[in-house]
A and B are shown apart, each in its own frame.
Chain A
């Protein structure tokens, strides 16, 4: 089972550290 043929992942990435920090700044 080499390669990515048996492996799935969400298309969207999680929020980054910077995005999380920016959200906190806005609060």
Chain B
């Protein structure tokens, strides 16, 4: 379709992927008890899905992030896992870059993207093999790194009433003595993405 909004298509694909990825990270990194997850198939691979309040929270978060991705203003989406004292122990960084405007020519292109996202999901599902165990009682938050000053993007991100956004604290962003664990890079015509983990050396 000629009238497809390119930015919207990328944002739809990416937010759907991020939702699956966040659920899987929370499962694999044992942030929530495994009993509250349900096995599902996405991208033709087994994934884990949450229901209830937690699922709603993740959906609301991504619904707000979507307008930034649509306008190519989100540089990174980061899932931060924090210990009981709210200090980050792991940061799953999705670094996003979108090429200049182009039209989506065929379904083959989208199917290719899906294959690349599938590979990324598979990599997340086995990432516990390369990461140290987290301490008990961890929580998480999702951060969005914007290309422009965050305050300029505040209106765009605040699309849900009663789901306000704020500028992140230095404490949640900064992690001392972290090592970098690259997980996967994907390059397609419509989207480039790097996924890596910053892991605190002494958790």
Q: Which residues of A contact B (CB under 8 A)?
A: 1, 3-17, 20-21, 23-24
Contact = CB atoms under 8 A, between A and B. Distances in A.
Given A8-B154, A10-B64, A1 B145 contact: yes
Interface stretch (B39-47, B118-126, B159-167, B181-189): B159-167
B141 A10 contact: yes
Contacts of A1: 145
Given A4-B167, A8-B153, A16 B139 contact: yes
A5 B150 CA distance: 6
A14 B147 CA distance: 25
B53 A15 contact: yes
Question: What secondary structure prevails in chain A residues at the interface with B?
Answer: loop
B203 to A, nearest CB: 17
Contacts of A17: 31-33, 137-139
Nearest to B65: A8
B97 interface: no
Given A4-B173, A15-B54, A9 B168 contact: yes
Contact of A7 (B35, B52, B150, B164): B150
B139 A14 contact: yes
Contacts of B64: 10
Given A6-B149, A20-B36, A13 B168 contact: no
A8 B144 CA distance: 5
Given A9-B141, A10-B64, A4 B53 contact: no
Contacts of B60: 10
